[in-house]
Amino acid sequence: MVKKYQLGNYELFFLHDGSFWLDGGGYFGVVPKVIWQKLIQPDELNRVKLNINPLLVRTLDHNILIDPGQGNKFTEKQKQIFGINYEPSLEQSLAEIGLTPDDIDVVVATHLHFDHVGACTKFDESGNIVPTLKNAVHYFQKNEWEDATHPNERTKGTYFLENYVPIMEAGLVKLIEGNKEVIPGISVEITGGHTKHHQIIFIKSEGETAVYFGGIVSAVTHIKIPYTMGFDLYPVEIMEKRKELYQRAIEENWLVCLEHDPINRAGNIKFDGRNYQFETKVTT
């Protein structure tokens, strides 16, 4: 089930970490249901299905995991609210390509919402929360870390301390500030929008570029500029950033990787003179 894509000298593996169901109104924000339900059908609770799509980058020197996923530490109430499905899990995806969590040595997160970094920690046999990727350095934006460890009334429903504080306590977190190259070939660029300090991840090898968009565009259903989520803290900022990123993506032929699309994993942004389109290159 894991698809592979060759990017220059790097191998990209499109992993899975289950799925969940999110309120359709929250997912599409100000877009009316009469419009968005033509793109995706909700269930009887008005929820839409979203996949969890981590990306593994294999270089000659590193196994880099981008946005590991949701993990399996949810309470029974959370499982019911979000319709959590753990299959196939991150561990199962890694096993399919001959790896274990211990083989990951670098983790980079776009932001620290539960569906992106929940898999960074797990319950051990005694019920304690411990790092899942115990041999990896986890690279997070410093200001995103500050926001995530001090959530407010709006953000406390998406920032869960148990997903990342144990990693810091284990000495596995390296906080970075601003746009920078994390390791050779892997760099980050702050976009804001979804969260104040959200970042996208660039993978570059032999003149080819892939970009993990995170919350900037989570699925093909959100390619249109005004289609933002109710969970985006700065939706107008996202719309402006999309215009800039789409132009760069077209000019530089980026392979754009999507975090939540149930079918489309990666592809190219196109413009037909009127609308932006997504030309799929990798499917689930």
The model's pLDDT over 120-165, given as tens digits with 9 standing for 90+, comes to 999 999 999 999 999 999 999 999 999 999 999 999 999 999 999 9
Please report how many Cα atoms fall inside a 13 Å half-sphere around the Cα of residue 279, on the Cβ side.
11
Answer yes or no: is pLDDT of 94 > 90: yes
Fold of 3-283: Metallo-beta-lactamase; Chain A (3.60.15)
Q: What is the pTM of this model?
A: 0.97
Question: Could you tell me which residues come within 8 angstroms of residue 47 by beta carbon, excluding any fewer than 6 positions away?
Answer: 21, 22, 23, 24, 83
pLDDT at 84: 97
Q: Can you tell me the mean pLDDT for 94-110?
A: 98
Phi then psi dihedrals of residue 24, to 5 deg? -65, -35
CA distance 6 to 206: 11
pLDDT at 1: 87
CA distance 208 to 212: 14
Answer yes or no: is pLDDT of 99 > 90: yes
Spatial CA neighbour of 192 closest among 219, 138, 227, 232 = 232
- Please report, for residues 23, 27, 180, the alpha-carbon distance to residue 46 in angstroms, rounded to integers and kept in the order given: 6, 11, 40
Average pLDDT in the chain: 97
pLDDT at 15: 98
Sorted by where each begins, the domain ranges of the chain are 3-283
